[in-house]
Amino acid sequence: MDLLFTLLATVVALGLLVTIHEYGHFWVARRCGVKVLRFSIGFGPALYSWHDRHGTEFVIAGIPLGGYVKMLDEREAPVDADQLDQAFNRKSVKQRIAIVAAGPVANFLLAIVAFWIIAVVGITTIAPVTGPIEPGSIAERAGLVEGLEILEVDGNATPSWHDVNLQLVRRLGETGELRILAREGENAPRSYTLQLDSWLRGADQPDPMEALGLSTWRPVIAPLIDQLSPQGAAERAGLQAGDLILAINGEPVQDWMGQVVPRIQASGGEPLELTLERAGRTLSITLTPDVREQDGRQVGFIGAGIAPFEWPEHMVRQIDYNPLVAIPVAVVKTWDMTVLTLDSLKKMVTGLVSAKNLSGPITIAKVAGASAKSGLESFLSFIAYLSISLGVLNLLPIPVLDGGHLVYYVAEWIRGKPLSERIQGWGLQIGLTLIVGVMLFAIYNDISRLGN
């Protein structure tokens, strides 16, 4: 069932992104007077097709990994004399630039809409208050302590840990000063300067928070079992709802998130001796956590949970905007993520960020499924981020991509005539080689993560 849900979420996400991208090309082409022969979502044999009154064939194909808009073009097939004015190649260079650029622009507009919906609906988040600081870490050397609420990173507001992480990701591979503005309780904010030196340069799967020595503050939650999964490791071992875990392998525990969960996750497949309190008496049971993959590593789990708990009221943040104010918020968010994507690509090319962080369809599918399960806000955020990535990648000046075509048309605009067929042919071959190489490398990274 999980696999089916993941596949469905992936198809919905990719289908939406491809449809919006191709519709951008289609919409502008129609307004420039170009005859569109086919609008296809997916490749391969058609599963379903129909024609509109303009004669355009709309196709839903069997391989949902892309799509295309096929236009009337003399370079691809002979065109009747009475339709020459509708051929793409007969349009002005400005019109062709507009048609090609419309696809990526549509992706950025989709991201703005997604972020706008999130801003209007609103999200409930937890204030980014620091937990225990790792001794000897960058954070400790800068003077950071437990209980600080992080207000800004490098001058950018951080109302949630998600925002903190995004700002930290911007600094991967860099050397210099990282500035954090934080406050303790109601005290006045104070600035902290963290020294970075080729920070996480080339790391395969960087964890910015851990690398700085930061952790998230959590309330102490008693390890009182409330829920059990049928046939899970906890139920098989005899654990019952209402049991209070007192110790693991003889070591006392008092906090579910801070002590019990990390111990279980680190002990997949290894027997643990649990000391419990049940109905006023003490007993011991042996529990062996099951194992599953999480974030590319094997972790233990027992199929048990505690009762829902509430965060302190002063730490809960409700972030929402009225529909008008949400528009610039969504535009700025899209711009920031676009700049971050470009910066990450630059760092990947220069070696500051490991190319092993490049992800392919398997990782995209896993993230799509996980975000869909997490709720509307997470799935919309995933759609927005992926749409921005698609828009940025398509604008790269690589032949085959929209950006490569834009380079050709801009060169034609400047020169007053198109580049030679031979130069365009060379560019096509180089572009295909690059794209296929990057795709294969991304798939290799996906498989490597599965193997790990």
Alpha helices in 359-420 (DSSP H): 361-374, 376-394, 402-415
Beta-sheet pairing, 156-157 with 304-306: unpaired
Distance CA 386, CA 394 (A): 12
> What is the per-residue burial (b if ≥16 Cβ within 10 Å, else e) of 154-171?
eeeebbbbebbebbbebb
State which H helix or E strand residue 325 sits in: helix 323-350
Distance of alpha carbon 208 from alpha carbon 173, whole angstroms: 11
Angstrom distance (rounded) from CA 361 to CA 233: 32
Which residue reads 């022969």 in tokens? 37
Comparing CA positions, the residue from 169, 146, 8, 115 lying closest to residue 334 is 115
Are the C-beta atoms of residues 381 and 118 closer than 8 Å to each other? yes
- The size of the chain, in residues, is 452
**Nearest residue to 33 via CA among 96, 100, 86, 94:** 86
Six token digits for residue 203: 């790391």
Catalytic residues: 22
Residue carrying the six token digits 């006045």: 188
| Single-letter code of the amino acid located at 76 | E
Residue 103 exposed, middle or buried by CB count within 10 Å (0-12, 13-18, 19+): buried
Between CA 423 and CA 408 the distance in angstroms is: 10
Strand partners of residue 182: 150, 190
Distances (CA, A) of 239 to 267, 272, 302: 17, 13, 10
The answer to whether 382 and 364 have CB atoms below 8 angstroms apart is no
